[in-house]
Chains A and B, each alone.
Chain A
Amino acid sequence: MLSGSRTVDPVTQEIIEGKLMATVDEMGLVMARTSMSPVIYEILDFACGLLTADGELVAQMNGITLFTGTFGFQVRALIDRFGPRLVDGDILLSNDPYAGGTHSCDFAIVKPLFVDNKIVAYAINVAHYLDVGGSVPGSLAPNATSIFQEGLRLAGVRVVRAGEFDSDILHIVAENVRMPEIAIGDLNAQIATVRVADRRVAELAAKYGAETVLAAFANLLEGSEKQARAAIAALPDGRYEATDVIDGDGVNDDPIAIKVAITIDGDQLVADFTGCPPAVAGPINCARGALQSAVKTIVKALVGPQAPSNEGWFRPLTVICPPGTIFTAEKPSPTGWYYEGSVHASELMWKALAPLKPERFSAGSYSSLCVVYIAGKDAHGEPFIHIEPQHGGWGATPTQDGAGAIIALTDGDTYNYSIEVIEARFPLRVRRYGFNVEGGVGAGRRRGGYGVVREYEILGRETTAYGSFGRTRVAPWGMDGGADGSVNMLEIERHQGDTERHGRVAHLDLDSGDVVRIISGGGGGWGDPALREPERVADDIRNGFLTTEDARKLYGKTGGVA
């Protein structure tokens, strides 16, 4: 029988689990197809899930990793706030980073799902809004020093009351964001998805009975917990540490030293971030919900990468971090670029655990999403905001060269933006999109993957840009004798001819003819470069990834290519 103690026959259990996955997938499909902002439909910066009445995640769509562990925290915060006052048909809205959220741009829509006047589950949809007001278009000033510069805050409100939209809330949203049509469109799309979930869960309850569905939730969580405990128990007990450096916070350029100590004891795993610095002035801080998510991402990679995610996998995990640090920021610390901080919490875990289970890990990657915001007016004088994360190089594994040009750990099923679509929509021309061969990758028996170079020529007027790039000084790490990768950077080539280089930059005025060049780094290598097979070196030369000169320098051979 199933490992759970509740009595659901295994066939019904399997059928209910299949239906839960089908439901969150359906929510995701509706969201991606109807959203009005490219951040959602192209980049898929959103996620949908189902949780128990206690706020434990039971099913989540395949979207991005940033939301791996935030849902439970968020829903529990809303349960605390509204508790027994919730009635059937209510839908809640929250964008509070300190209550399990991430940054103000992420709007969480939560619907309690009632069966026979009792809450049996919650449906959630969290999506990144193109603009929520604040000091700059897109709301994420890289040099913000307080949450109050990062846009509208709605820390837990009822946007729908017993099935009726609260027009006051809609009015507040519409009046406080730069692109109200898009915001209200996306709000409609989000609400449609949680209503879909409501119908599907009601169907399940009607068919199998609410008691059976609840028992199936419990079984599902216990089953995953058991698998996670078995995977952790198979690792050697011990204490594993890692340190790293974050390249500035957007206000100060100083290096920020961070560390983790992981203890594996039997079937439990404790990640202790004690000793990390206090929250910094700039907006790369994350709050505790985002830290949980960052840690859980790597735990999931360790214990069961392909299985559907739910809270059960994380029951053996304890995260320790005192309040008020860079990873546990509190009000009013800014968190706009939280993923630039939280990814480092993930990478600490990754770096510490990689030697324990090399078959699940790779060497260091370019990590930073290298997001640039370009805003201005199009040919008709209409305002536009173009937001785009960049893909980059990942580290080598013990058996394979690193992956080139894939999205950073914090995202997931995230597409790059079609050049033809961009040029039809915005006054921008892409001059180059290709591998960052010049920057190179970490050499090794297996080498890192290549980053990208993407060049935008500005065609319009009144254009501005800002961005926040990490790993601009400290390159992705190599493993087991492999060399470090290469760094990310933002270059502006002025039409007059001079070129500037940036990392985290709060404001750039751009002229027609200026070029924004986004460069993402290459991943770290794995193993001694001297051991690289000659035919692999020759292949890289023939494919234009390596010059013969560099091949001799890095590998001491050219594989027979002159």
Chain B
Amino acid sequence: MIRLATDVGGTFTDLVGYDERNGELFTAKSLTTVHDQSEGVLNAIASSEKADGLIPRDVTFFAHGGTTVINAITERKGVRTALITTAGFRDVLEIGRGNRPDLYNLQFHSPEPFVPRRLRFEVRERMNAAGEIVTPLHERDIAPIIEACKVEKIEAVAILFLHAYANPAHEERCARLIAEALPEVTVCASHEVSRQWREYERSNTVVLNAYVQPIIRRYFERLEAALTRRDLTCPYYAMQSNGGISTFDQATASPLTLVESGPAGGVAGAARIGQALGEQEVLHLDVGGTTAKCSLIHDGRPTLNVEYKLEHSRIAPGYPVQVPVVDIVEIGSGGGSIAWIDERGALRVGPQSAGSTPGPACYGRGGTEPTITDALLTLGIFDPKSFAGGSMQLDKEKAAAAIRTVGDRLDMTVEDAALAIVEIAHASMINALKLVTVQRGHDPRDAVFVISGGAGPALAARLGRELSVKATIVPPHSGIFSAWGMLAAEPRADFRATWFSALSESALLEVLRRFAILERQAIAYFGKGDEAPIRPTYRLEARYRGQEHGVVADFEAADTIESFSERFHAAHEKAYTFRLPSAAIEITTLHLEAVLDGPVITLPALSRDGRSIATAVKGSRTVYFGAETGWRDCPVYERDLLPLEQEIAGPALVEEPTTTSLIQIGQTLRVTSEGIMVLRDATSGQEAR
């Protein structure tokens, strides 16, 4: 009857509830409780009980996204973990890949491993690449390791043997022996979390999985107990990084699948909005306080990044993990990002952020550096009185003073400097948005552009115009979009397995057989029996012989060599601009994406009563559009009162409690019958790429 989602962010915990009986939506916010995030979740529920009369007993679906896993990793607060590996290879985890992306830094160091050398143990055993035993498992090597783990008070043991993706027998046996001897200890073997090759990446994956598993298990236990005490006893789901949800038990077995659960909620929401509009290609941008994140939904499905790395940057190798994570490009431009002048005298924005304390200068909490929020206020886009639903008065003078600190050095007026700050942020967002589209072979003109986050809708119209998207979309509840998106997510699991073969008739038969095995795994994973409504998608990663990195192409049961080859050539050409029709094709990885059909949030038609331009107008504001156009008067509308399915000409401002949208000169706005704002240019989706 009631579907509830809670999203724990850095500062706030958001709650969105949806009453299926009447289509009503309610929201609540509480402060995030850092020591135990479940307290903040319960506080948000309590405030919904008070404000909206939520009855926890009526909740039939509970989705949860949090940062427990990622925090344990970034703050190095996981448990004491040991690694058992093939004899001769205990340093693989520390050596990593040995690359120095910080080319000219002669003091460069690789990232520290999560298990120090003295807690990395070796066992004699060996498989080859075909999964055949070369050296049997020497079980007597394990006894001293068990003793050492006791002495060192180890709480989790990760196991990685070479080629276990091809044959896990030795890992399974070793895990059983450790679990029997050390029943209190968490044991994770690499094949349980990844069936892909590359020993360093897989070791890192299994080590991090073991490192956080006891933490997330205890967290879910606390949360479940607290929810049960509150009489909220429906199935509980966790938001996963792949854009789907899983049960708490599934998530506990594989906690690394939760690393990017917050942003993935937004991606799931963007896919849902696309579906409501009948659009398969969706470009999503979420502008938060310190960063902006963008991702692409292709064919109605979020795109996955197969080489996800934690703590990675242009100059830091980071920690690669082999778990399915939505392909998100993150850049350091958010509402709180600080504008500054670099040593050459050039204007820069971010990645430093004013955060929530002191916050932008206009918050009046002691911040003096100019931020994007200060710029938006100075340009007239934000209203000092109605910001954040009127809960916070913004100080225009303080914003202007902060902007002047860079404006004076650039010899610019305050408004020109404010616009320059916004332009720089725009440009870096455009580069990131092009990275997930044009540079990966997708055309933004085919996509709708869904923008969310506090500062997002203020920037949306210009970004959409520059990308020539079909339409720019401001979804309902864009300020709490991640939580809303969790109500749109379905149970999903991804099974990826390295399997290496030249493309041939017999290989295609083997592919079918292997997908059938993966499908049985999916059925077992969901625990619903053979009739479960599972929607499988088969994909093959393939490459031209000699290449290392493949491209992913859909695979169909009826595929012949010709039909699959053609799809592969086309995918290669789309991604990299060329095809090699005479080169041999090799298959490297099978990928089964399994989605369990489930009810997701509906977007009910809104009532037209009481809606009109006249009732929606709440005043007007002058907005600065640059030196040529200057200041222009813009009507200010209340979003909830705008008429449905009617064209409204820009320029205009549309306000709602969590955000403000700017409609540019020459654009039109239409609110759909479901309350989605659609912005279009006369030339939308037509300009040259």
Q: What residues make up the interface of A, taking CB atoms closer than 8 Å to B?
A: 1-3, 10-11, 13-15, 17-19, 22, 26, 29-30, 32-38, 41-42, 44, 62-65, 181-182, 185, 188-189, 192, 195-196, 223-224, 226-227, 297, 300-301, 304-306, 309, 350, 360-362, 391, 394, 397, 400, 403-407, 409, 411-416, 418-421, 423-424, 429-435, 452, 455, 542-545
B91 CB-CB contact with A under 8 Å: yes
A-B pair number, CB within 8 angstroms: 220
CA A432 – CA B572 in complex, angstroms?
Answer: 36
Contact partners of B577 in chain A: CB under 8 A: 30, 192, 195-196
A336 to chain B, nearest CB (A): 23
CA A431 – CA B134 in complex, angstroms?
Answer: 12
Interface pair B546/A3, CB less than 8 Å apart: no
8 Å CB interface, B513-533 against A: none
A75 to chain B, nearest CB (A): 21
Interface pair A405/B431, CB less than 8 Å apart: no
Interface pair A542/B118, CB less than 8 Å apart: yes
B423 CB-CB contact with A under 8 Å: yes
Between B90, B314, B546, B583, the greatest number of chain A beta carbons within 10 A of the residue's beta carbon is seen for B546
8 Å CB interface, B100-144 against A: 100-110, 116-118, 128-129, 134
Interface pair A65/B117, CB less than 8 Å apart: no
Q: What residues make up the interface of B, taking CB atoms closer than 8 Å to A?
A: 88-92, 94-110, 116-118, 128-129, 134, 162-163, 165, 197-200, 314-315, 343-348, 410-411, 420, 423-424, 427-428, 431, 434-435, 439, 500, 544-549, 551, 572, 575-578, 580, 583
Interface pair B106/A14, CB less than 8 Å apart: no
B89, B106, B165, B549: the one contacting A33 at CB < 8 Å is B549
Contact partners of B545 in chain A: CB under 8 A: 36, 181
| B interface, over-half SS | loop
Interface pair B315/A306, CB less than 8 Å apart: yes
Q: Which residue of A lies closest to B197 (CB)?
A: A420
Interface pair A421/B105, CB less than 8 Å apart: no
Extra contacts besides A350-B106, A413-B100, A429-B128 (13): CB < 8 Å: A14-B347, A22-B439, A35-B548, A63-B103, A306-B315, A405-B94, A414-B99, A416-B98, A418-B198, A431-B88, A433-B95, A543-B118, A545-B117
CA A424 – CA B103 in complex, angstroms?
Answer: 31
B101, B107, B197: the one contacting A418 at CB < 8 Å is B197
Interface pair A404/B100, CB less than 8 Å apart: no
CA A408 – CA B105 in complex, angstroms?
Answer: 12
Contact partners of A361 in chain B: CB under 8 A: 106-107
A13, A405, A418, A423: the one contacting B110 at CB < 8 Å is A405
CA A361 – CA B356 in complex, angstroms?
Answer: 38
Interface pair B99/A29, CB less than 8 Å apart: no
Interface pair B95/A404, CB less than 8 Å apart: yes
CA A361 – CA B580 in complex, angstroms?
Answer: 46
Contact partners of B346 in chain A: CB under 8 A: 2, 10, 13-14, 17, 223
Give me 25 A-to-B residue pairs in the complex whose CB atoms sit less than 8 angstroms apart, sorted by A's number: A3-B344, A10-B410, A14-B427, A18-B427, A33-B576, A34-B576, A41-B547, A62-B103, A181-B545, A185-B546, A300-B104, A304-B104, A394-B108, A397-B107, A405-B91, A405-B96, A407-B100, A412-B99, A413-B100, A416-B95, A418-B198, A419-B199, A424-B129, A429-B128, A542-B118
CA A435 – CA B569 in complex, angstroms?
Answer: 42
B95, B104, B572: the one contacting A297 at CB < 8 Å is B104
Interface pair B197/A185, CB less than 8 Å apart: no
A18-B428, A195-B577, A362-B106 known; A1-B99 Cβ under 8 A: no
Interface pair B101/A413, CB less than 8 Å apart: yes
Interface pair A301/B105, CB less than 8 Å apart: yes
CA A11 – CA B426 in complex, angstroms?
Answer: 11
Between B107, B343, B575, the greatest number of chain A beta carbons within 10 A of the residue's beta carbon is seen for B107
Interface pair A26/B315, CB less than 8 Å apart: no
A13, A33, A418, A419: the one contacting B575 at CB < 8 Å is A33
B89, B344, B411, B546: the one contacting A37 at CB < 8 Å is B546
B670 to chain A, nearest CB (A): 29
CA A22 – CA B162 in complex, angstroms?
Answer: 37
CA A26 – CA B411 in complex, angstroms?
Answer: 35
Interface pair B95/A391, CB less than 8 Å apart: yes
Interface pair B548/A41, CB less than 8 Å apart: yes
Q: Which residue of A lies closest to B435 (CB)?
A: A22
Q: Which residue of B lies closest to A13 (CB)?
A: B346
A13-B346, A545-B117 known; A400-B109 Cβ under 8 A: yes
A2, A36, A429: the one contacting B544 at CB < 8 Å is A36
CA A195 – CA B573 in complex, angstroms?
Answer: 14
Interface pair A32/B105, CB less than 8 Å apart: no
Interface pair A192/B578, CB less than 8 Å apart: yes
CA A407 – CA B102 in complex, angstroms?
Answer: 11
CA A63 – CA B545 in complex, angstroms?
Answer: 24
Interface pair B576/A62, CB less than 8 Å apart: no
Interface pair B100/A414, CB less than 8 Å apart: yes
CA A409 – CA B103 in complex, angstroms?
Answer: 8
CA A364 – CA B199 in complex, angstroms?
Answer: 30
Interface pair B88/A306, CB less than 8 Å apart: no
Interface pair B100/A406, CB less than 8 Å apart: yes
A22, A223, A412: the one contacting B101 at CB < 8 Å is A412
CA A400 – CA B346 in complex, angstroms?
Answer: 34
Contact partners of A15 in chain B: CB under 8 A: 423-424, 427
A44 to chain B, nearest CB (A): 8
A3, A37, A62: the one contacting B345 at CB < 8 Å is A3
Contact partners of B551 in chain A: CB under 8 A: 33
Q: Which residue of B lies closest to A414 (CB)?
A: B99
Between B95, B548, B551, the greatest number of chain A beta carbons within 10 A of the residue's beta carbon is seen for B548
CA A430 – CA B200 in complex, angstroms?
Answer: 14
A407-B99, A416-B97 known; A227-B344 Cβ under 8 A: yes
B90, B107, B343: the one contacting A360 at CB < 8 Å is B107
Interface pair A36/B547, CB less than 8 Å apart: yes
Interface pair A420/B129, CB less than 8 Å apart: yes
CA A544 – CA B95 in complex, angstroms?
Answer: 15
Q: Which residue of B lies closest to A63 (CB)?
A: B103
B330 to chain A, nearest CB (A): 15
Interface pair B549/A434, CB less than 8 Å apart: no
Interface pair A405/B98, CB less than 8 Å apart: yes
Contact partners of B95 in chain A: CB under 8 A: 391, 404-405, 416, 433-435, 452
> Which 4 pairs of residues, A with B, have the shortest CB-CB distance?
A36-B546, A391-B98, A434-B91, A432-B88
Interface pair B105/A305, CB less than 8 Å apart: yes
Q: Which residue of B lies closest to A10 (CB)?
A: B347
B134, B423, B431: the one contacting A11 at CB < 8 Å is B423
Interface pair B435/A2, CB less than 8 Å apart: no
A2, A14, A185: the one contacting B424 at CB < 8 Å is A14
Q: Which residue of A lies closest to B349 (CB)?
A: A14
B113 to chain A, nearest CB (A): 11
CA A62 – CA B129 in complex, angstroms?
Answer: 33
CA A360 – CA B104 in complex, angstroms?
Answer: 9
Contact partners of A435 in chain B: CB under 8 A: 91, 94-95
B444 to chain A, nearest CB (A): 13
CA A174 – CA B563 in complex, angstroms?
Answer: 30
Interface pair A423/B576, CB less than 8 Å apart: no
Interface pair A301/B106, CB less than 8 Å apart: yes
Q: Which residue of B lies closest to A300 (CB)?
A: B104
CA A412 – CA B97 in complex, angstroms?
Answer: 11
Contact partners of B583 in chain A: CB under 8 A: 181, 185
Contact partners of B96 in chain A: CB under 8 A: 405
CA A438 – CA B439 in complex, angstroms?
Answer: 47
Contact partners of B94 in chain A: CB under 8 A: 404-405, 435
Contact partners of B109 in chain A: CB under 8 A: 400, 403, 406
Contact partners of B428 in chain A: CB under 8 A: 18
CA A301 – CA B428 in complex, angstroms?
Answer: 27
Interface pair B108/A424, CB less than 8 Å apart: no
B130 to chain A, nearest CB (A): 8
CA A404 – CA B117 in complex, angstroms?
Answer: 13
CA A435 – CA B544 in complex, angstroms?
Answer: 35
CA A38 – CA B545 in complex, angstroms?
Answer: 12
CA A543 – CA B198 in complex, angstroms?
Answer: 25
Interface pair A192/B129, CB less than 8 Å apart: no
Contact partners of A362 in chain B: CB under 8 A: 106-107
